[in-house]
Structure formats: C-alpha cells, structure tokens
Structure 1
Amino acid sequence: MSKKWKAAVLLLVVLALAAAFAFSRLRWEKSWTFSESVRTLRNPARGFYIQVDSTRWQKIEKISGDVRVILLTLDLRDFAEQAIPDETLQELEQALSAAEQGHAAVVFRAAYGFDEAVREPDDLETVGAHIAQIAQVLNPHAQNLLAVQAGLLGEYGEWHGGHFLQGDESAQRTSRLYVLQQWEAVLEQQIPVAVRRPRFVREAQKQGILTGRLCLHNDALLSTDSDMGTYDDPEMSFSEELQWVDEQLADQYNGGEMPSPGARNEPENAHAEFQRLHIGYLNQMYNQEILDSWRESEMPGAGGESAFSFIERHLGYRFSVSGASVSARLCKPDTVQVHLTLKNSGYAALPAGFHLYLLTEDSAGTVGEAYEIQHPQLHQISNGQECEVSLELQLDDVQPCSLSLQISPDLSSPEEDCVILANDGFGWESGRNRILQLWKNEDSFWEPVGVKTEQDA
C-alpha cells in the first residue's frame, strides 16, 4: 500500500474515532421553570403554636388538627425541694405521645412557676437533677422535638428574675452556663436547645457548650428597642445583633411571641425582622391585638394579600421547585440525569430532622427506587435562597415512571409528617410530590427520553 493510501486510511480512522467520540458526548436535554404559589400550606413543624401545660395533655388531641407546633410546658413549682414525682413525669410522657399522634411538633419548657411568683430550689444541683429526670422522658421523643428551651431559671423560665439570676454578671452567667451544661450532658445530641438572648448563645459558644445546637426563643418580639432586654449586649447595637443572628444562626429554627403592640409590629418591619431572625413558629394567642391588625392590613407589595396570611405562610420553611432539567446521552439513552432546583422562601431553614428523598413510581403508584439526597444546603437556605439536587436514573425498558420528591423525617413517615411543595399542579399522594413523568422514547432517535411535568400531564 502506498504512503498516500496509508495516510488516507489513517485519516478515515481518525475521523471515525472523532465522530464516535463526538457522538458519545452528544446529549439530549429538556428543562422547565416553575413558579411558587401563594397558597397556605399546613406543613409540619412550622407556623403558629399554642401553649399547653403537661397536666392538660388531653387538650392536645383537640388542638393538634389546628396547629403543627405546640409549646409544651412543665410546671415544677411544687417540686422545688424534691424529685419530680413519677405521676408528673407520666403526664409529660402522655403529652409528648399525644403530640406525636396528632402530628404536632413540640417546643418544650420547664419552669418553677409560670408567673412572677416563682418557687425555685435552694441550689443548682437540684435543678440539675430535675433536668436529668426530664431528659429521660424527652429523649425517646427526640425526632418530634423542635427545641428544648433552657428554661427553669427565673420568672416563666425566661431567664430573668429568680434568685439564681441575682448578684453580679459573673454569678448570673455561672447559673446560666450550669443549666446549659446539664442539658448538654443528658439530652440526645439531635435536640436543639433554645435560649432567650443572642448574648447567651455567644457566651456558651466561648465555653464550647452545645456547639451548633443553640437557637433562640424571643418572648418579646417586636416590642421595645431592645425587645425587653433580648438584645442587651453593650458591645453591639440592635442592628448588629440582628445581623449576627442572621449570619450565625441561619441554620437554626428560632421562634417566640409578641407581647405588646407598637410601631415595630407593622407588617413590613415584622417581615424584615422575621427574615433576619429565621423565625419558624409564633404564639397564636399572644398578642391577639397584633395578629388582628395583620388580618386587617394588606401586606405591601403582596397583591392585596393580608399581612397575616403573608407572614403565616413564610413562617418556618417553604419549599418549591423552581426549575428542573432532564438529560441523556444519545449513545446511552437508558441512563437519565435529573436536576432539580429547590427554593426555600420561608424565614427559616429546614429543621435538621427532615430528609429529602427522590423516588420512582410506576403507573400504579408503587415505589420502585428511593434515593436519599444528602445536601447540606437543604438545612441552610432560607428567604428565597436555592440549591440544586441531582439524580441519575436507569429507565425501565417497558414501564414509564414518575419521579417524586418527599421531604419527611424518614422514608416511612405518614403523609401528615411530609412536606407539601409550594407549587401548583404537582401531584400529591402518600406524602410524595410528583414532579416528572419519564419513559424511554424508542420512536425518536433524537429524543430518546419521553418526559413531561405533572403540571402538563
């Protein structure tokens, strides 16, 4: 063979290899954008809460259909000089069980009297012993606890007043840190602990106590210039305190109540502060005057929606799918890549106890495969931030499948404990949000995958 023929053959081989390589890289892709609805969603572990005393645990069954969060309180006034009786601990257990059965998440607080006439133990060791007793009841219900408020000290357990919080700042700090250390020693690690002031979080951080587990419960939201002492650090202004919470506690689930009407309750300001404080839950009863004013006011820029409705639907997390894409290589149409963009327009990040699953279902609704998607940003984003999740699927030769998204404590959670996406048009069944329908498209070489959204189905 002549040199020219050898060169020609070599060129053809190179071109064939290049064409094969190019074909192997050639991809088919479709993408969609979706909008968020303005409908109100009764999703778990967020929204307005009602306070219930543990002695009235039967009430939980009646109210759990109306609220998804309960502030469960335990009054220890009568036990300042003794161990907590078994009967009282049993009532606490019954209350926690009733909340789980009613699919209501719990924020817990214990105090030595829920008024100004507290009756505290003589020594902190008794407080520590009570914490140990309480934790034995709380720990089995860890998955249903949004937070345990540090509580116990002072009036209402709000860390003001009471004899442990008298004296100089050093003595008060010693009492506060002791209580936090006791909770850290006995509570399951997945349970967050809430304190009243950002300063209390910082002083615990300096001592390495409850690192990454401290959140806020502000009982004086939108009240005075300092929220009745909530923002009391002499080295930080009010705006600096808000900025610190926004940046440092963005992955925590914070809450509170509003005691007094005033200029700071105005809807625009409330919305702005709740964004920075990452508010997940608010007291439904306190303060009714403020809540009624929101019901009677339009939220500026919200198209005529009431301020109450607007703020309520942004409490906690609010997830929607803002975009999706499906792609496949033409040389390998059985393997499909799916990308979803998730947006959280709520004030708070998704609580750590929730997980994200992507599932395939056949036409009868039977789950084929379930994939847990590990993505740290799911528990960090809020206030309109987004993150992307991806999944690679093998399409069945015969059966089309639906791709569904489930956000829940675990894969087998009942529908009441699963998160509904804030999109219109997606299917919803058994806790699953159906997003896409996929199938092999053998009739079209250039579109090897048939796909449509549930909104187009």
Structure 2
Amino acid sequence: MKLFRVVSATLILGLLGPAQLSQAQLSQAQLSQAQLSQAQLANAHRDPLSTRTYAASDAVIANPERGFYHHTETHYRADGSGYTPLDLATLQGFRTQESVTQILRVFYLEKFAGADKLDRAYLDLVRADFATARAAGVKVIVRFAYAQPPGWPPTTPYGDAPVARVVKHIAQLAAILRANSDVIAVVQSGFVGLWGEGYYTDHFADPADPSQVSDQNWADRRTVVLALLRALPRDLMVQVRTPYMKQRMLGLPTGTQGALSPDQAYDGSAAARIGHHNDCFLASPDDFGTYLSDPIELDKDFVAQDTNYVPEGGETCAVNSPRSDWPSAAAEMERLHFSYLNTDYNRDVLGSWGDNIKIAQQKLGYRLSLVRGTFTARTKPGGAVGVGLDLRNDGWAAPYRQRKVQLIFQGDKQTYRVDMPADPRRWAAGTTTTLDRTVCAPVRPGRYRLLLNLADASPRLDDPAYAVQLANTGTWRPATGYNDLGHTITVEGRGLGGGCGAKPQLIR
C-alpha cells in the first residue's frame, strides 16, 4: 500500500542512517519522510495489518449491463395502434427468476417514416417505458427502426425514412434519451433499413441491390450515427451493426491498427463511443455479411481489440455446426469480449450448448471477484487506513459504463463512504487488478465493518439492483448492494489523525 511503502522508506532512513544509503535511496527516503507528518508515520507503522483471502462463487449473478437479454419490441402504426408498453411484473420476473437484468427494446416508428414530427403521445409512451424499466431494476439496450418485412424475402419499398427526417426524429428523441440515460445500457445505431440493421433500405443503399452503398449513402449513414452520438450524453455509447460501418464512417483501417488504443479509450471521441453488435453471430464464416475484410480475421482482430473498451453483443441466428457449437461459440465470445446475448433467439443454437449455457450466463460481460484483501486493523479517529484489494475479472469483457468505487465504513450507528479513484472499465477480462489506497478513518471512535460498493454512476440509481455483486461466497449484502470485505477496523484513542487522503462522508 502507498502509505506503508512510504513508511518503509522512512524507517530505513531512521534505522540505517544517511551514511549507509545510496544517494538514490537517501533521496527517496527523504522525500517520503517529507510527505507525511510524524504523527501519521507513527500511526501507520504501529497499526497492525490484517490479511484475508476470499472464496469464489459459481453462481449466476444478476449484475447490470451484462449477461443474456430478453428481446422486446413495440410499434406505432399510422392510426397510433400497436404500442405495447413494458410490463413491470414481467421485467421484475426476468431479474428474480432468470437473473436477466437487461432487455433489448426496439421502438418501431412506422407512423413517422413519412412525417417529420413525432407525436407527443408517442414520446410519452417511450418515456413511460424507461420509467417502468427503472422501477423494475433493469437496463435497456435501445434501438429505433421504421419497418419490419411482412414476409421473406423482403421486397421494396422497405419503409424506412430519408436521412433528413431521421435526423429530425433523433433531435426530438434527444431529451428523452438524455433524461433516461441512467437506465440505458447502450444505444444501437438503428433507424436505417429493416429492423434498423442497416441493410434493406430505401434511402441508404440501392434498394434494388442493398450491397451497393454509394459514397453519398455512406455520408448519410455517418450523419445518422453522429447525430445520435450528439443526442446522447458523452458517457453513452452507440453500437453499429458491422465493423466496416465504424471503419468507413471514421476513416479507420481494419485489423488492430484501426482499433482503439488504451490512450484513446473513454476520451469522448466518436471512435471511443462506437461499439459493435452482431445479430447473426456464428451463422456462417462471415456471420452473414458481418465481416467484410479479406481475410475475415482482420475484421475480427479489429473487433477483438476495439471491444477492450467498447461494448459487443448480439444474437445468434442460424445453426451452423461446428461454428455455432459451444467450443467455437465460447472461444469467439471470449475473443470478441461479448457483454450480452439474446436469450430468445436462436433457440436451436442456444439449445445445442446444453449445460454450457450456465458458463455463458456466468461469463458474458464482466465477472468480478475478490481474491485477497489487506487492511489496517486499528487506527485513531481520522487516522490512516490502508486498504489493498486484489480483484479478478473472470468474465469475457470489462464493464463498459462508468461506475463508482466506494469504500464503506459501517458502524453500529453511523455509516460513512469514501470514494476511491478507480475506473472498473479498465479492469480487463482475464486480469487481476490491485486497488491500493490509503484513506482516513471516521472521526467517531468505534468498530466499523469495511464493505465495497460498485455503484452506478448516476445518483438517480442509488439502488442495490444497479450495484455490482462480486462473485464470492458470503460477501453480498442485498439490502444495501454492498460487498462485505470481511474485516472490521477499530477506531480508538485520543487526538485526530491527518494527512491521510480522502476523508469519509457520512451517509446514514
């Protein structure tokens, strides 16, 4: 821990003396000594440490913004019919009975393909759906589209809207999307083509041959995606249907060369906010046109690198053994950092995975667990508390939305919170992250249980349903959404410590 490393340097200086140290060691020891007061140093090296390990759990956990999702859709036809509001009890059942915490909501805009203005009644219905999702403790993967085909194969006209009208509709939806961004997991680019998947379209490709997309068509597609990015808060991402869409719109090469770097991640740029969804996952060698590079592996390399920092998800759509069999599916979801997958489709593909479906339930998205913890055992009021935590991510992806990391001091009468400077979006799949912090103890003497809160970034979602449960046995506290670190610190003695960093805030 930082505090204890500083103390060690000071003790070396005191025990050995300047003559027995190299110049570099002496400079470091003197700098360390200057950084802390003598009182803090005395507290830090005197106070004992406690170390413990944690047992991992194999439970399927209902954590936000990850896992399987249920598909939902609603319509708004020319006469205003077809809208089916979300049902609170159904959404609550997804959480409690299936550990499913998210839905895809496709909002079909049939009535407005030929009209610039969205009805107030329609906007109220969309707004109400988000309120229902919030009450149920679920998040929404959002997509807007204008049309579904009445049969197969689809025929022209397909029924979507021209670019100018799409941009006007996005502008009218912006206020609702911003106001409800707390319960939106991610927004799919949508709008263009049947199902909002960007292929069968009247206005963004040649309707007679949708594979022919002109330069102007690409410019119009880019206009739609950028308008959607502008309509959303900077911390919300947009997913496009194929990697080439992102590459073409932003002028990026395929392969790892064009993908996000750690320095670019989360910088608010379009590249850092555009992720991927694959709605024909495993269906053919190129997933029915999802991958266009030659060789295909270049596009997969692009997505594999990109999705370290942006979300990937989708659905299976056809049995294609052996590619759609479990060994291939698991390897690809791990490689491409899948955060979510449709549980409703394709049932034949999912059924072929057998009992391995539980592994997907565990590993889609992030799966964070405590490995080891080291803590100060006792300190004086306001004194230094060292906390060292090793957390493992055994999921296939990192969290992709911002999240608070908070250390909780829970006493018999009062509870305090300390915000930790950590970003779970950087806790990459398959890695162990060490949180190594020194914070101040509460000034009120007593015994305090230490807990970890991985809370939603939105103050509006101060709700256990939106907190992250760590994959350990005996640590989850469902009433608060906290994870019990299994350590109690004693705060006692006279006088006040100081200079220890972040101070706790009383929360109850």
TM range (shorter): 0.7 to 0.9
- Confirm whether residue 278 of structure 1 aligns to residue 340 of structure 2: no
- Confirm whether residue 246 of structure 1 aligns to residue 304 of structure 2: yes
2:233 maps to which of 185, 188, 193: 188
1:326 maps to which of 371, 375, 390: 375
Alpha-carbon displacement from aligned partner over 1:216-264 (angstroms, at most 9, x marks no partner): 1110111110111111134xx3333222222222122221000011221
- Confirm whether residue 383 of structure 1 aligns to residue 429 of structure 2: yes
CA-CA distance at 1:397 after TM superposition? 7.5
2:63 corresponds to: 43
How do residues 113-192 of structure 1 correspond to structure 2 at under 5 angstroms?
113-115=147-149, 116=154, 118-121=158-161, 123-163=162-202, 164-166=204-206, 167-192=212-237
Alpha-carbon displacement from aligned partner over 1:104-152 (angstroms, at most 9, x marks no partner): 111111111123463123x311111111112222110011111111111
2:80 corresponds to: none
Structure 1 CA distance, aligned partners of 2:375 and 2:388?
7
Structure 2 CA distance, aligned partners of 1:442 and 1:59?
52
2:251 maps to which of 203, 206, 213: 206
What secondary structure sits across from 1:114 in the alignment? coil
Q: Residue 218 of structure 2 contacts residue 249 of structure 2 at CA under 8 Å; is this kept in 1?
A: no
- Confirm whether residue 92 of structure 1 aligns to residue 126 of structure 2: yes
Unaligned runs of 5+ in 1: 1-14, 297-305, 444-457
Q: Residue 280 of structure 1 contacts residue 315 of structure 1 at CA under 8 Å; is this kept in 2?
A: yes
CA-CA distance at 1:185 after TM superposition? 2.8
Give the residue type in structure 1 aligned to 2:316.
Answer: M
* Bigger Cα displacement from structure 2, 26-35 vs 74-83: 26-35
TM-score (norm 2): 0.75
Structure 1 CA distance, aligned partners of 2:111 and 2:13?
88
How do residues 372-411 of structure 1 correspond to structure 2 at under 5 angstroms?
372-376=419-423, 378-389=424-435, 390-394=437-441, 398-410=445-457
CA-CA distance at 1:347 after TM superposition? 1.4
Structure 2 CA distance, aligned partners of 1:90 and 1:397?
49
Q: Residue 178 of structure 2 contacts residue 232 of structure 2 at CA under 8 Å; is this kept in 1?
A: yes
2:112 maps to which of 79, 92, 99: 79
What secondary structure sits across from 1:219 in the alignment? strand
CA-CA distance at 1:204 after TM superposition? 3.0
1:435 corresponds to: 485
Q: Residue 88 of structure 2 contacts residue 135 of structure 2 at CA under 8 Å; is this kept in 1?
A: no
Equivalent pairs counted in the alignment come to 413
What secondary structure sits across from 1:405 in the alignment? strand
Alpha-carbon displacement from aligned partner over 1:360-405 (angstroms, at most 9, x marks no partner): 00135x41x21122223x2023332121112434376841111101
2:103 maps to which of 58, 70, 95: 70
How do residues 345-360 of structure 1 correspond to structure 2 at under 5 angstroms?
345-360=394-409
Give the residue type in structure 2 aligned to 1:81.
Answer: G
CA-CA distance at 1:209 after TM superposition? 6.7
Q: Residue 192 of structure 1 contacts residue 214 of structure 1 at CA under 8 Å; is this kept in 2?
A: yes
Inter-CA distance 400–331: structure 2 relative to 1 (3 Å threshold): closer
2:281 maps to which of 215, 221, 231: 221
CA-CA distance at 1:161 after TM superposition? 1.5
* Bigger Cα displacement from structure 2, 56-65 vs 240-249: 56-65
Structure 1 CA distance, aligned partners of 2:492 and 2:402?
42
Inter-CA distance 427–62: structure 2 relative to 1 (3 Å threshold): closer
Structure 2 CA distance, aligned partners of 1:437 and 1:209?
41
What secondary structure sits across from 1:420 in the alignment? coil
What secondary structure sits across from 2:69 in the alignment? strand
Alpha-carbon displacement from aligned partner over 1:398-456 (angstroms, at most 9, x marks no partner): 4111110111214671111111110012251411111132334999xxxxxxxxxxxxx
Q: Residue 427 of structure 1 contacts residue 435 of structure 1 at CA under 8 Å; is this kept in 2?
A: no
2:351 corresponds to: 292
1:454 corresponds to: none
- Confirm whether residue 197 of structure 1 aligns to residue 225 of structure 2: no
CA-CA distance at 1:79 after TM superposition? 1.6
Structure 2 CA distance, aligned partners of 1:441 and 1:186?
49
What secondary structure sits across from 2:454 in the alignment? strand
- Confirm whether residue 425 of structure 1 aligns to residue 483 of structure 2: no
Give the residue type in structure 2 aligned to 1:219.
Answer: D
Inter-CA distance 119–395: structure 2 relative to 1 (3 Å threshold): closer
How do residues 366-377 of structure 1 correspond to structure 2 at under 5 angstroms?
366-367=414-415, 369-376=416-423
TM-score (norm 1): 0.82
Q: Residue 378 of structure 2 contacts residue 491 of structure 2 at CA under 8 Å; is this kept in 1?
A: no
Q: Report the RMSD for the aligned CA atoms in angstroms.
A: 3.0
* Bigger Cα displacement from structure 2, 98-107 vs 331-340: 331-340
CA-CA distance at 1:159 after TM superposition? 0.8
* Bigger Cα displacement from structure 2, 259-268 vs 399-408: 259-268
- Confirm whether residue 316 of structure 1 aligns to residue 365 of structure 2: yes
CA-CA distance at 1:179 after TM superposition? 0.9
Identity of aligned residues (%): 24
1:32 corresponds to: 52
Q: Residue 334 of structure 1 contacts residue 440 of structure 1 at CA under 8 Å; is this kept in 2?
A: no
Inter-CA distance 128–30: structure 2 relative to 1 (3 Å threshold): same
What secondary structure sits across from 1:212 in the alignment? helix
Q: Residue 376 of structure 2 contacts residue 489 of structure 2 at CA under 8 Å; is this kept in 1?
A: no
Structure 2 CA distance, aligned partners of 1:111 and 1:267?
32
